[in-house]
Amino acid sequence: MGTTRQKWLLQALEEYRGRLQHYVQIEWVELKEPRESDALKRIDGEMELFEKHISRDTFLILLDECGKGFSSIGLAEYIGNLQNRAVRECTFCVGGAFGFSPIFKKKANLLLSFSQLTFTHQMVRLLLAEQLYRAYTIMRGESYHH
């Protein structure tokens, strides 16, 4: 949710998008945040926007501070298991400032947490890109991780 404007973040995201293309087809979609000032209305508006862009067949992963934490190797194993189960599409969603609605969380296949710390949604995108790249290099036994 939201757009990335900082040039250095855009460059870093583009770098990892290029790296990831060697392993997986990836598409970054940025959604403009609703202008609602009320937190609950904003969360509901964000859920509607997400649902317009998510196919019903996707494996849905929401990045959420209360989600399950993984080590980098654990995340690589999880993604590898999804591939072994022939999951064809996986969607990662980064929520807005107020997180996700309980209804949307129930629709998710996984709530994923990178940390108990709070990050901007722009930073989370970069962390996600780097961790996905790391996961694929781990799965392939490449030297990036160590």
Q: What's the CA gap between 102 and 85, in Å, rounded?
A: 27
- Examine residue 41 and state whether it is found in any structural domain, yes or no: yes
What residues have CB less than 8 Å from 99, skipping those under 6 apart?
Answer: 43, 64, 65
Lowest mean pLDDT among 16-25, 75-84, 90-99, 132-141: 90-99
> What percent of the chain shows pLDDT beyond 90?
46
Q: Is 18 domain-assigned? A: yes
pLDDT surpasses 50 at 1? no
| Domains contained in the chain, number | 1
Instruction: Residue 93: give its domain's CATH number.
Output: 3.40.1280.10
The DSSP bridge pattern shows strands 90-94 and 59-69 to be: parallel
pTM for this predicted structure: 0.88
What residue numbers bound the domain in which 61 lies? 7-139
Residue 22, domain member (yes or no):
yes
